[in-house]
């Protein structure tokens, strides 16, 4: 076994990424305070060819040194847009045919592993603030809520970890099934 070189990995260029087919998933970052978490979201979105990221409320936007530290250039490849109001973004995505998926522990949330992904569906995954979670206004617009089952004492994950797990699972169900 040997580690692959960058050339052997066959990475596509930013232009090729922008022209490539994306999975029908949008990410909404609802008032994320950590710029490192924002950068990590961009990097994950690039890895799985997410359609677009929406940065809302207090969520920081590129260009910013702290975002770039974790994004490693993904802010150049992944489409993104800033909007002050999360609800407006979700209403627009819902009107465009997206299922609004709140990633939060709620009275009606379902375990991530049981989430069914029908063919040709479009999804918007909403991730919330590090302290307060997804805003009540966003929860009210959700079509369903997902949570990652956990057994520890904290009952929460850092948003970048949570986003990576959820996006991987959705990608796996859409692209690899």
Ordered by where they begin, the domains of the chain are 20-149+156-175 (3.40.1280.10)
| Predicted confidence (pLDDT) per residue in 108-134, tens digit | 999 999 999 987 899 999 999 999 999
Burial 87-103 (b: 16+ CB within 10 A, else e): eebbeebeeeebbbbbb
| Predicted confidence (pLDDT) per residue in 10-25, tens digit | 899 999 999 999 999 9
pLDDT at 119: 79
pLDDT at 148: 97
What is the pLDDT averaged over residues 130-155?
Answer: 96
What is the pLDDT averaged over residues 128-156?
Answer: 96
* CB of 85 closer than 8 Å to CB of 56: yes
pLDDT at 118: 86
pLDDT at 6: 83
pLDDT at residue 7 tops 90:
no
pLDDT at 16: 95
Q: Percent of the chain, pLDDT > 90?
A: 93
d(CA 127, CA 71): 17
pLDDT at 4: 95
| Predicted confidence (pLDDT) per residue in 75-106, tens digit | 999 999 999 999 999 999 999 999 999 999 99
């Amino acid at each position: 076994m040997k580690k692959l070189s960058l050339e052997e990995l066959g990475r596509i260029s930013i232009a090729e990424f922008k022209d490539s087919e994306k999975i029908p998933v949008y990410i909404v970052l609802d008032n994320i305070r950590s710029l490192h978490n924002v950068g990590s979201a961009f990097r994950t979105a690039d890895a799985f060819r997410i359609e677009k990221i929406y940065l809302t409320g207090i969520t920081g936007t590129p260009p910013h040194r702290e975002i770039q530290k974790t994004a490693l250039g993904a802010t150049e490849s992944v489409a993104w847009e800033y909007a002050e109001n999360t609800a407006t973004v979700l209403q627009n995505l819902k009107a465009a045919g997206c299922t609004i998926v709140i990633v939060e522990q709620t009275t009606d949330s379902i375990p991530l592993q049981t989430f069914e992904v029908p063919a040709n569906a479009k999804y918007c995954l909403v991730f919330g603030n590090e302290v307060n979670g997804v805003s009540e206004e966003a929860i009210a617009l959700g079509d369903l809520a997902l949570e990652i089952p956990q057994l520890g004492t904290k009952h929460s994950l850092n948003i970048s970890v949570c986003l990576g797990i959820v996006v991987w699972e959705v990608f796996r169900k859409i692209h690899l099934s």
